[in-house]
Amino acid sequence: MARNFPTYLLKCLQDWFQHHGDEFYDELKHIRNALDQVLASDRFAVAVQRDARHVELLASVHRLIRAQREKRQKSDDRQLSLF
């Protein structure tokens, strides 16, 4: 009997899903949809974090360029103007 138990259990599960599979699917369909939303929001969060890093990098570059430009303009102020 021990050898046949896995086969018996498989047959019972197959019969149960054949009779109740549609009900089971309908009851748990919302879990699949919620999981899709969670995964999508996780991907969205990763994209937002990646974009935020790009914005931070661009802002840092802008600050460096502005500082160099201001430094250069201050040194030019010491020179006399031709006009």
Q: What ranges do the domains of the chain cover?
A: 32-75
- In the numeric block, the tokens 């802008």 are attached to 62
73 vs 9, which has greater pLDDT? 9
pLDDT computed for residue 78 by the predictor = 63
Which pTM does this prediction carry? 0.37
Q: Give dist(CA 25, CA 22) in Å, integer.
A: 5
pLDDT computed for residue 18 by the predictor = 93
Chain center to CA of 8 = 44
14-72, pLDDT tens digit by residue? 999 899 888 888 888 888 888 888 878 887 888 878 888 888 888 999 998 988 888 77
Q: Which residues contact 17 (CB under 8 A, 6 or more apart)?
A: 24
pLDDT computed for residue 19 by the predictor = 92
- For the chain, where are the alpha helices, taking DSSP H only? 5-77
2 vs 13, which has greater pLDDT? 13
